[in-house]
Amino acid sequence: MTEYLNVDGGTLAYEVTGDSGPLVVLAHGMGDSREAYRFVVPRLAAAGYRVAAVDLRGCGESSARWPSYSRTDIAGDLLAVIRHLGGPAVLVGHSISGGAATIAAAQSPEAVTGIVELAPFTRKQSVKLADLRVARYRRGMARLLGTGLFGSVRLWRSYLDVAYPGHKPADWSDRAARIDDMLREPGRMAAMRGMGRSAPSDAGAQLGNVRCPVLIVEGTLDPDWGDPRAEGAAIVAALPAGLGRLDMVEGAGHYPHVQYPDEVVALLLDFLRAHARA
């Protein structure tokens, strides 16, 4: 059942599964909704966790139009949800919300006991010549840039075809149609373009201030980087020594938790057993 929380600038939608246990808050990437965790939520709840899946500002059932869409904004939203639900929580963020998780943990260590970042944009990005030699990176970046420039739902769907290399989930046709429909709602594409214009430098500046354990998960075939392993390792290196760990999901693109939920849930449960608190 969808619940709503009013925060400065709009209304956030979220759904809680599980009646008790340590709190885990799940945040998706841009152009998506909390349905991105549809394969993850029931497994975490069955393992004894109270799981809150959040629609980011501008996405899903949250209000569409907000003043801005930075990672710092998203971090504030996620902290508001954690506090509303009684926290503390382990915070799981994908892509843009991976960077937001970094900021939330650095700003409010009492509210966040650990963070998991799935294919995160958490550092200032730069294009390297070696990246341009990787075909999947060229294809993905061209489609992402086109989506941002033209606000095209068709180009975003084309990007998703690259971001899900190999097999797609069995429900992909229906899910992709729902994403298309969401992005055609008034204000939704503008919100996604606003997120796309938001640089991750605010998250990168906070990496050294994180004090809780961090798990970075990258797909080996993620088209958003020429070398996903190197990107994940660089995030770990920017954290205080000993806090970060990198795991790779073989064959996954930018959505490892959707393509390979068994592998990702296993990593999450291992992390939660060590770092979640009721």
pLDDT of residue 244: 97
pLDDT of residue 125: 86
Per the structure, the count of domains in the chain is 1
Question: Is there a contact between 122 and 94 (Cβ–Cβ < 8 Å)?
Answer: no
- Please check the confidence at residue 229 and state whether its pLDDT lies above 90: yes
pLDDT of residue 129: 78
Omega cis (within 30) before 42? no
Question: DSSP assignment, residue 152?
Answer: -
pLDDT of residue 29: 97
- Please check the confidence at residue 143 and state whether its pLDDT lies above 80: yes
pLDDT of residue 49: 97
Q: In the block, which residue shows the tokens 């990198």?
A: 246
pLDDT of residue 94: 98
- CA angle (48 as vertex; 119, 212 as ends), nearest 5: 45
Model confidence band, residue 147 (pLDDT cutoffs 50, 70, 90) = very high
What's the mean per-residue pLDDT of the chain? 96
Instruction: Report pLDDT digits (tens) over 34-78.
Output: 999 999 999 999 999 999 999 999 999 999 999 999 999 999 999
Instruction: Report pLDDT digits (tens) over 233-278.
Output: 999 999 999 999 999 999 999 999 999 999 999 999 999 999 998 7
pLDDT of residue 278: 76
CATH of the domain at 33: 3.40.50.1820
pLDDT of residue 266: 98
Entry pTM: 0.96
Strand partners, 216: 117, 246
Range of the domain at 240: 3-275
Least confident piece of the model among 9-13, 60-64, 94-98, 147-151: 147-151
